[in-house]
Structure 1
Amino acid sequence: MLLVVRLAWKVTNEKPSPLSTHKLWERKLASIVHIATYVLTIILCVTGYAMVVAEGQGAVFF
């Protein structure tokens, strides 16, 4: 649930400009790590839900 809010915030707000002291490879690597974090978090949620459903239990969110 919070991931959806965070992604909406990221899409609707402007990204701050990078510092001039950061090298190009550092900025690229930071972008890759941010994207990987989102992808892995989504995979974690999907596989967790799939495991619960595969066991025959219903998913209880609250």
Structure 2
Amino acid sequence: AEARPWLREALEALADHVRRGRLKRLALERFDGEPVVGSAVEPLLVELGFRQGPRKLTLSA
């Protein structure tokens, strides 16, 4: 995630979109073609409020 500085800003905008109620819930199973759980981007998503599940990360409005 550090190698792509634009990534944090993009994921923050996505999370904000959900928090404002524009999406009821967002579940991510894959990121950049790989499972999101255990990925390099997982800690950032959790920091932004996504909840960990067995195979996905979920953010609710």
Q: TM exceeds 0.5?
A: no
Bigger strand fraction: 2
Which of the pair has more CA radius of gyration? 1
**TM, length-normalised to structure 1:** 0.29
